[in-house]
Amino acid sequence: MAPLSGKVALVTGGSRGIGRAIVEALAGQGADVAINYVQSAAEAQDLASRFQTSGTRAIAVQANVGIEDEARGMVDRTVSELGRLDFLVNNAGIGRDRAIQNMTGEDWRAVMDVNLNGTFYCTSAAIPHMIEAGGGKIINIASVLGALSNLGQVNYATSKAAIVGFTHAAAMELTRYNISMNAVCPGFIETDMMSGITDRKREQFLSRIPMGRFGTAEEIASLVRYLIVEQHWSTGQAFSVNGGQYVTI
Ligand code: NAP
C-alpha cells in the first residue's frame, strides 16, 4: 500500500510551480489532494481531473489565502469533501518588488496578507481537523530570501523571515497534539515567479549559487515529500534547499 494511502493533503497555491510539484509528489505517495488556487482555475481543475482518472480523490479549491474567511472556508471544504485533513502545505506566495521608498502600504500589505497572514489563517483552521485525525504535519514554504535578501524585496524578505519565526513558535504548541511543523526554504527556483527577471538579474542570482544553476520545483517537492513520508522526529526547523547558498536560519 502507498505510504499516504487514506490520508488527505491540502496544498495552497497548488495550481502552478512549486505547489503543483508538491501536489504531484504527495499524490504519488497515495494521498488524496486538495489543490488550492486563486486565479488558475483551468490548471487546478485539469490537475485534479488527471488524478481522478487514476483513482486519487482530488479537488480544486478556489480561495485567496490572504482573506481569512476564504482560507478557513477552503480548509472546511477540504474536510467536508475529502473526509479529513492530515497534511497542510502553506505554499501560496507572491512578490511585489520595489525599492523601500517607493513601496506603498498596499504593496506591503498584499505580500504580508498572502505569504504570512495566509499561512496563519490556513494553519489555525487546519489544527482542529488534524487533532480530530489524531495528528498531522504542516510544511511552510519560506525562502532563502528570509535570510539573504535582494534589493527591492523588504516586504517579501520580511514575510519569509516571519514564516520561519512562526514555524519555531507554532511547532512548540503543536507537538502535544501530534502535529509537527517545519519550514522549507527554497533558493532560486525556475517557476513563473522567476520569469519576469532580466537577464542581468539572472546572471547576478546565478553567481550567488555555488552549485551554478537554479533549482527545480521537483527538488523542493522531494524534500516536502521526505518530511511528510519519512521524517517523524523533526519539528520547528527550517530546511534549506538552495544549491549551496549559506544561510544561518
Ligand atoms: P508561482 O509559480 O508564482 O506560483 C504561485 C502559486 O501561488 C500559484 O499556484 C498561485 O495561484 C498561488 N497564489 C498566489 N496568490 C495566492 C492567493 N492569494 N491565494 C491562494 N493562492 C495564491 O510561485 P512559485 O515559485 O511556485 O512559489 C511557491 C512558493 O515558493 C511561494 O511561497 C514562494 O514565495 C516560494 N519560493 C519561491 C522561490 C522561487 O525562486 N520560485 C524561491 C523561494 C521561495 P494561481 O495559479 O491561481 O495564481
**Which runs of consecutive H residues, i.e. helices, occur in the chain?**
17-28, 41-53, 68-82, 105-111, 118-133, 154-174, 192-195, 199-207, 217-229
Indicate whether 249 pLDDT > 70: no
Ligand 1 pocket test, pick from 70, 91, 166, 193 with the greatest ligand atom count within 8 Å of Cβ, gives: 193
Question: Model-level pTM?
Answer: 0.98
- β-strand pairing of 238-241 with 179-186: parallel
Q: What angle do CA 189, 193, 58 make, to 5 degrees?
A: 85
- The number of C-alpha atoms within 13 Å of 105 and in the hemisphere containing its C-beta is 0
Indicate whether 118 pLDDT > 60: yes
Q: Is 215 in the pocket of ligand 1 (CB under 6 A)?
A: no
Q: Is 37 in the pocket of ligand 1 (CB under 6 A)?
A: yes
144 in helix, strand or coil? helix
Query: Could you tell me the distance, in angstroms and rounded to a whole number, from the CA of residue 94 to the centre of ligand 1?
Result: 6
Give the tens place of pLDDT for each residue, 57-94: 999 999 999 999 999 999 999 999 999 999 999 999 99
CB 152 within 8 A of CB 98: yes
Q: Is 17 in the pocket of ligand 1 (CB under 6 A)?
A: yes
CB 221 within 8 A of CB 18: yes
Query: Could you tell me the distance, in angstroms and rounded to a whole number, from the CA of residue 1 to the centre of ligand 1?
Result: 32
Domains of the chain by range and CATH?
8-241 (3.40.50.720)
Give the tens place of pLDDT for each residue, 172-209: 999 999 999 999 999 999 999 998 889 999 999 999 99
Query: Could you tell me the distance, in angstroms and rounded to a whole number, from the CA of residue 248 to the centre of ligand 1?
Result: 24
Cell numbers that stand for 63 in this block: 480561495
CA 75/CA 126 separation, integer angstroms:
6
**Cell 511543523, residue located:** 181
Indicate whether 211 pLDDT > 70: yes
Q: Is 191 in the pocket of ligand 1 (CB under 6 A)?
A: yes
**Cell 527550517, residue located:** 238
Give Cβ neighbours of residue 246 (< 8 Å, ≥ 6 apart).
none
